[in-house]
Amino acid sequence: MPLTLATTAPGKPEIFASVQGEGPSAGTPCTFIRLSRCNLACVWCDTAYTWHFTGDERLHRGAATYDRRANQVTLSAAEAAQQIIALGQKRLVITGGEPLLQAGALAELLELLPDLSVEVETNGTTAAPARLDIRIDQYNVSPKLAHSGNPAELALLPRMLGHYSADERAFFKFVIANPGDIGEVLALVRAHAINPKRVFLMPEGIDSASLREREQWLVPLCLQHGFRMSDRLHIHLFGDTRGT
């Protein structure tokens, strides 16, 4: 079963080594594999090349659409595993797009990588089947708030939020664009009994200046509500670029 990956250049899969930029593993050396396709459409998505293909009329603030053939490539599990092993890291981050849309192929991949610690970045709308779930050490769950442009009935599924709240491997990372977004976070935390110690607030932004400006008012919100703050280290280090 092949994996469908995003690309850093036409025909070149987005598999790379870097430090994790966000969430509880920030600063940790990792190998990343970025899969293509997503079931949601965030208007501020910084990886729109994984889903906003030519003909897709879902809204994105960048307005650009991407040629599917140039921005997708398929690899077998064995081919992807070979590239991951060659990068020599002990931790693997599976990101997207929405990687759990390819759960079967991912399970096949991870069975070839038994010695790696694995974290999965997900929008929290679906769960990994048992064959995949048993090989995952950490979930970075990023439920999409109203400012993402996704309808709540698609993005905020009570059954799935409850599922991840009950899983101690799951950390919740909420993208915050304005101080008022905290009300929606608090409502979700209460409704689904999410442990505040596993909640991160992360500023929305794709440049250092925007991130720093928003962090000025985000820190007091974290102090007030007992949440953790996530920066976006990769933006400060590399800018909004692929393969970083």
In whole angstroms, what is the distance from residue 124 CA to residue 170 CA?
10
Tokens of 54: 């030519």
Answer for the pair 155, 129: CB distance below 8 angstroms, yes or no: no
Report residue 176's pLDDT band, with 50, 70 and 90 as the boundaries.
very high
Report residue 34's pLDDT band, with 50, 70 and 90 as the boundaries.
very high
Answer for the pair 227, 173: CB distance below 8 angstroms, yes or no: no
In whole angstroms, what is the distance from residue 227 CA to residue 39 CA?
28
Convert 88-110 to b/e letters by CB count within 10 Å (16 or more is b). Answer: ebebbbbbbbbbbbbbebbbbbb
Question: pTM for the complete prediction?
Answer: 0.97
Q: Which domains does the chain have, with CATH numbers?
A: 3-238 (3.20.20.70)
Mean pLDDT (whole number) for 36-48: 97
Mean pLDDT (whole number) for 176-185: 98
